[in-house]
């Protein structure tokens, strides 16, 4: 095991500086939002719905949009992870195509189908095939810088999309929400970065607490559930661990039945909480912790920072991003490479 307070050892193992990319999240959010507002984008008036298309890290931006702003958009938002668009998508549907690389096969298929149906289309990408085909079709692109792993580009992808939708008139002014979010994230990054020792660093302490157990992430429906899913995927990719997530209170209608002895001993429960939860949710969490502990499961809580939904969600995400990287580094694993995904992509392309 690597000592998480040995900064030189962490940096030597973290060859591509995933910790640095995680810590730069607030700057990514600020730069992306500001840049998107300056773009000359077509007005979104007349759109009766938004379909956000993406996979992996590129799709999380859509989850953020739907969870935080669905009550402020005035039209329904659907996050589409797959090749095919929903049947209702047509000329009055805004389709946001999110692909960091621009080469994601499922997202390209959705884009081409949206083009054929005459949908309103805007893309968020660093280029690739998507960028080229958007340019050929004369369609608007919100550019993001390349050079990152897609999972480390959430700030660019998510806040570019928010700024673009505001510029198109589909979202109200978000400057206050973005400012609070960036401020909260900068404070968190200072507390959670590699120079802060375990004793004062909640992400490092949580990584040590999880240890060799399988993380189980719970989050309240809405922003908590989005954060929980993000934690799960970051633990998969950065820590190279199996991990699972569930949303409250849905998990109280099924999952809790499975937490009986001896199954809890190999899991570590992390609950993501925030002050905007439904009043019943707090009591449900407390009762569900008792069930998990009775099965032998350890549990911890992470609470969101900030007053806006956007700040709360992004703060939970940042703690999870850091925790996932520290879990991998503690076990001597470089968090950046994803050899299994690369092999899958190469095999599919080769086939």
| Residues known to be catalytic | 237, 253, 345
Determine phi and psi for 29, rounding to 5 degrees: -60, -50
Separation in Å, CA 221 to CA 14, 182, 238, 276, 347: 34, 24, 25, 11, 37
Judge contact between 45 and 139, C-beta under 8 A.
no
Nearest-angstrom CA–CA distance, 341 and 344: 5
Using a 10 angstrom Cβ sphere, with 0-12 exposed, 13-18 middle and 19 or more buried, the burial of residue 199 is exposed
Q: What residues form DSSP beta bridges with 245?
A: 217
Q: Return the DSSP state at 220.
A: E
- E strand or H helix that includes residue 217: strand 214-220
Judge contact between 124 and 97, C-beta under 8 A.
yes
Please provide the size of the chain in residues. Answer: 351
Q: Examine residue 262 and say whether the peptide bond preceding it is cis (omega within 30 degrees of 0).
A: yes
Token reading at 57: 């890290």
- Residue for token pair 């919100």: 142
């Amino acid at each position: 095991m690597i000592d998480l307070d040995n900064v030189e050892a962490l940096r030597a193992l973290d060859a591509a500086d995933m910790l640095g990319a995680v810590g730069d999240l607030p700057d990514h959010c600020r730069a992306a939002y500001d840049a998107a507002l300056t773009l000359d984008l077509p007005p979104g008036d007349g759109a009766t719905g938004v379909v956000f298309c993406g996979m992996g890290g590129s799709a999380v931006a859509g989850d953020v949009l739907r969870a935080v702003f669905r009550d402020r958009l005035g039209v329904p938002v659907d996050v589409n992870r797959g090749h095919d668009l929903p049947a209702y998508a047509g000329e009055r549907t805004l389709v946001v195509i999110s692909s960091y690389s621009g080469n994601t096969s499922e997202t390209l298929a959705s884009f081409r189908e949206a083009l054929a149906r005459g949908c309103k289309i805007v893309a968020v990408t660093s280029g690739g095939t998507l960028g080229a085909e958007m340019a050929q079709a004369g369609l608007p692109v919100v550019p993001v810088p390349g050079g990152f792993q897609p999972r480390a580009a959430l700030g660019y992808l998510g806040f570019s999309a928010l700024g673009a939708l505001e510029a198109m008139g589909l979202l109200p002014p978000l400057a206050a929400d973005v400012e609070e979010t960036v401020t909260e994230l900068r404070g968190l990054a200072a507390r959670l970065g590699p120079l802060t020792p375990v004793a004062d660093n909640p992400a490092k302490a949580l990584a040590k607490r999880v240890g060799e157990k399988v993380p189980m992430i719970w989050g309240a429906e809405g922003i908590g559930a989005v954060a929980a899913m993000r934690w799960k995927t970051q633990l998969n990719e950065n820590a190279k661990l199996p991990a699972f997530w569930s949303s409250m209170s849905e998990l109280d209608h099924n999952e809790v039945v499975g937490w009986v002895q001896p199954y809890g001993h190999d899991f570590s429960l992390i609950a993501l909480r925030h002050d905007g939860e439904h009043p019943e949710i707090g009591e449900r969490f407390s009762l569900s912790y008792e069930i998990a502990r009775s099965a032998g499961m350890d549990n911890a809580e992470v609470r969101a920072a900030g007053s806006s939904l956007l700040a709360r969600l992004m703060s939970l995400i940042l703690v999870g991003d850091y925790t996932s990287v520290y879990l991998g580094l503690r076990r001597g694993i470089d968090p950046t490479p994803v050899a299994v995904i690369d092999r899958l992509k190469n095999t599919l392309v080769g086939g």
